[in-house]
Amino acid sequence: MPFIADALLRVKPSATIAVTQKARDLKNAGRDIISLSVGEPDFDTPDNIKKAAIAAIERGETKYTPVLGIPPLREAIARKFKRENNLDYKASQTIVGTGGKHILFNAFLATINPGDEVIIPAPYWVSYPDMVLIAGGSPVPVATRIEQGFKLQPEALEKAITPKTKWLLLNSPSNPSGAAYTHAELKALTDVLLRHEHVWVLTDDIYEHLIYGDFKFATPAEVEPRLIDRTLTMNGVSKSYAMTGWRIGYAAGPEQLIKAMDMLQGQQTSGACSIAQWASVEALTGPQDFIAERRKIFEERRDLVVSMLNQAKFLQCPSPEGAFYVYPSCAEAIGKTTPEGKRIDTDEDFVAGLLEAEGVAVVQGSAFGLGPNFRISYATATSVLEDACVKIQRFCSSLA
In sequence order, what are the residues at sequence separation of 6 or more whose Cβ sits closer than 8 angstroms to the Cβ of residue 209?
217, 239, 240, 291, 295
The percentage of residues in the chain with a pLDDT greater than 70, rounded to a whole number, is: 100
Query: What is the pLDDT at residue 23?
Result: 80
Other CB atoms within a 10 A radius of the CB of residue 188 amount to 17
Distance CA 231, CA 380 (A): 34
- Is residue 191 scored above 80 in pLDDT? yes
Stretch 183-196: mean pLDDT: 98
pLDDT tens-place string over residues 281-330: 999 999 999 999 999 999 999 999 999 999 999 999 999 999 999 999 99
Query: What is the pLDDT at residue 11?
Result: 82
Query: What is the pLDDT at residue 242?
Result: 97
pLDDT tens-place string over residues 323-370: 999 999 999 999 999 998 999 999 999 999 999 899 999 999 999 999
- Is residue 72 scored above 80 in pLDDT? yes
Q: Which fold has domain 6-44+290-398?
A: Aspartate Aminotransferase, domain 1 (3.90.1150)
CATH 3.40.640.10 residue window(s) in the chain: 51-285
pLDDT tens-place string over residues 238-251: 999 999 999 999 99
Q: Where are the beta strands (DSSP E) in the chain?
A: 34-35, 94-97, 117-122, 138-143, 165-171, 200-204, 231-236, 249-252, 325-326, 360-361, 363-364, 374-377
Distance CA 108, CA 368 (A): 19
**pLDDT confidence tier of residue 227, bands split at 50, 70 and 90:** very high
CATH 3.90.1150.10 residue window(s) in the chain: 6-44+290-398
Query: What is the pLDDT at residue 383?
Result: 96
Closest CA to 219 of 122, 85, 123: 85
Query: What is the pLDDT at residue 18?
Result: 75
Distance CA 306, CA 84 (A): 29
Query: What is the pLDDT at residue 28?
Result: 86
Query: What is the pLDDT at residue 13?
Result: 76
The percentage of residues in the chain with a pLDDT greater than 90, rounded to a whole number, is: 90
Query: What is the pLDDT at residue 176?
Result: 97
Stretch 363-381: mean pLDDT: 96
- Is residue 235 scored above 80 in pLDDT? yes
Query: What is the pLDDT at residue 237?
Result: 98
Distance CA 142, CA 165 (A): 13
Stretch 84-111: mean pLDDT: 98
Q: Calculate the CA 326 to chain-centre distance.
A: 13
Distance CA 353, CA 216 (A): 38
Stretch 109-129: mean pLDDT: 97
Query: What is the pLDDT at residue 381?
Result: 94
pLDDT tens-place string over residues 247-269: 999 999 999 999 999 999 999 99
User: How high does pLDDT run on average in the chain?
Assistant: 96
pLDDT tens-place string over residues 5-61: 888 888 877 777 777 787 888 888 888 999 998 888 999 999 999 999 999 999 999
Pick the CATH number of 51-285 from 3.40.640.10, 3.40.50.300, 3.30.1330.20, 3.30.360.10: 3.40.640.10
Query: What is the pLDDT at residue 17?
Result: 75
Query: What is the pLDDT at residue 37?
Result: 87
